[in-house]
Structure 1
Amino acid sequence: MKVGLVIGDYTWDGGPARMADTLVEIAQTADDTGFSIVGVGDHLWQGAHYGGPEAPFLESFTALTMIAANTRRCRVAPVMAGVNFRHPSLLAKMVTSLDVLSGGRAMLGIGVGWDETEAQGLGIPYPSLTERFERLEETVQICLRMWEGDRGDERPFDGKHYRLERALNLPQSITRPRPPIMIAGGGEKKTLRLVARYADACNLYPGPELPAKLDVLRGHCEAEGRDYDAIEKTCIFPFDMGEGVNADALVEMLNGLGQAGVQTAIGILAGPDPVRQVELIGKRVIPAVADA
């Protein structure tokens, strides 16, 4: 079992003047203690679960660049890039640039997005769920085109929602054949089918329905002619360590997820002392689940 983290809360001591220092300290501590992924949520407003729109939130790719510059081992990723925020060719270029600048450690986490209030408030288009799924598939197709070969697949792309005259992408990513793609969500008819068709990793929530979700993914893989075992199974949920008192319970939970087939657990990091939380997880949890 591998353990990653995603920064979901920026309400830190010192406010904006110390955000850069705190972000770097979190990232370096996570990198040094064995976290496999250091990611950030992709929002422009904070969600209701961590204080709502009046709470601070950093733009994801700007934060990821800072993280990449101050780590050497972990993967760096948006968790998860909302499909409505960026044109696919721009997203592919941003992930490519992150991969180059991180020495080949970028991962594209992507999903259909969920915060309509945020989009409406800032004047960002937020199509219907059906259309966002269509755009998600075309976005992944365009990213794959732009990561093809040494220059990208330079043929035109003519989709329902996007059209590219030339999918040229230079420099190409260091990660070859391309940065890995993680598609978020457990929808059985659409999301997991897209995972089977395109993705290198799924991203689910823990719970009693998890084994059934993985069975559905296995079935989609069979239908798509895809090797189920080639897809990394990840779960995401808040890690509540307290002052270490919850470490044993978290270890037990992660061991159970490992037995269910999960390979990477991604903890949502929150609270006023994030560096301490990362240190505790690195010391008490990561070594204990390494063989799960």
Structure 2
Amino acid sequence: MRLRIFTEPQQGASYETQLAVAKATEDLGFDAFFRSDHFVKMGDVAGEPGPTDSWITLGALARETSRIRLGTLVTAATFRHPGPLAIAVAQVDQMSGGRVDFGIGTGWFEEEHTAYGIPFPGLGERFERMEEQLRILTGLWRTPAGETFAFSGGHYTLAESPALPKPVQAGGPPIIIGGFGAKRTPRLAAAYADEYNVPFHQVEDTGAAFERVRAACAEAGRERPPVLSAAQVVCCGRDEAEVERRADAIGRQVPELRENGLAGTPGELVDKIGEFGRLGAECVYLQVLDMHDLDHLELLASEVLSKV
């Protein structure tokens, strides 16, 4: 089982804070550092010093790390045009030596779109745009060197694109599609995803979502389904007092976290991660909400990572 550290910097984290977490992630032996792609805080937190752009941040981290994979969970298709997005992701892949995983979703948080003047169409159109973006991104990355790429869709048109730069990874970075939708998400995962992620659902519901993607792959004639993964908020302590202290720091209750996330002693976390593994998950994203608590990462590395 691979464990990845997943952060939410819009809740209040400078680049320096993210760098400290990324370096700890690498030094402690975790597989990857991931971050969200959001521009507005959520819930009752200060959110200061304010948002940071995900791909600018990952480009900088690419030069400050050497082993861990880097990615988004997930880039919002509403935020960027697909052509410039393909350029940015390919550049970060080059800067990292081929260590990028690319997560993409429809975008869902209307408030951040309103706050920064980003159009927020209805869900149907957002899915249409996301699918066109996937076709464009993969098309640009996979166009042979020296050839051009063109696309004409309902929302985007590209003509005579040089399809440059190319990512280091042949065919482009692995694509992660996440979500819990019953129809459109499994279909897109079957068509485009190297990895399918179920974020913040209980074990039984996660298993049901995995089955829907397996069924969609079978229907599409895909021989092997994508890598299956789960994302869970994490709150670990050596004893109950430490668990409660960490839960208080992120404004959550321990019983709720035990039910809906990975909370408790290291042994409890190892057991629950094993439940996801038995469903077919090969990777779990540990959502770390207190990015200043590096001791939390050290505990997770020594007592959880080492045992899964």
Matched, 1:265 2:284: yes
The 1:241–1:193 alpha-carbon spacing in structure 2 relative to 1, beyond 3 Å, is same
Q: Distance in 2 between matches of 1:128 and 1:262?
A: 31
Give the AA of the match of 2:135: Q
Q: Distance in 2 between matches of 1:129 and 1:115?
A: 11
Q: 2:142 aligns with which of 135, 143, 148?
A: 148
Report the count of equivalent residues. 282
Q: Distance in 1 between matches of 2:172 and 2:16?
A: 31
Moved more, 197-206 or 130-139: 197-206
RMSD, aligned α-carbons: 2.0
| Cα contact 1:203–1:233 (8 A) shared by 2 | yes
State TM-score, norm by structure 1.
0.90
| Cα contact 2:7–2:291 (8 A) shared by 1 | no
Give the AA of the match of 2:296: Q
Report SS of the residue matched to 1:179: coil
Give the AA of the match of 1:216: R
Give the AA of the match of 1:120: T
Q: 2:132 aligns with which of 126, 132, 138?
A: 138
Match of residue 5 from structure 1: 5
Report SS of the residue matched to 1:156: strand
Match of residue 86 from structure 1: 80
Q: 1:51 aligns with which of 21, 31, 45?
A: 45
Give the AA of the match of 2:230: C
1:123-164 Cα offsets, whole Å, 9 max, x none, are: 100110000000010000000111114438623200010000
Moved more, 240-249 or 174-183: 240-249
Q: Distance in 1 between matches of 2:227 and 2:45?
A: 32
| Cα contact 2:195–2:227 (8 A) shared by 1 | yes
Q: Distance in 1 between matches of 2:234 and 2:173?
A: 27
Q: Distance in 2 between matches of 1:38 and 1:153?
A: 34
Matched, 1:225 2:221: yes
| Cα contact 1:96–1:172 (8 A) shared by 2 | yes
Gaps of 5+ in 1: none
Match of residue 193 from structure 1: 187
Q: Distance in 1 between matches of 2:146 and 2:174?
A: 16
Match of residue 162 from structure 2: 168
Match of residue 35 from structure 2: 40
Gaps of 5+ in 2: 244-263
Match of residue 216 from structure 1: 212
Q: Distance in 2 between matches of 1:119 and 1:53?
A: 16
Give the AA of the match of 2:272: M
| Cα contact 1:150–1:172 (8 A) shared by 2 | no
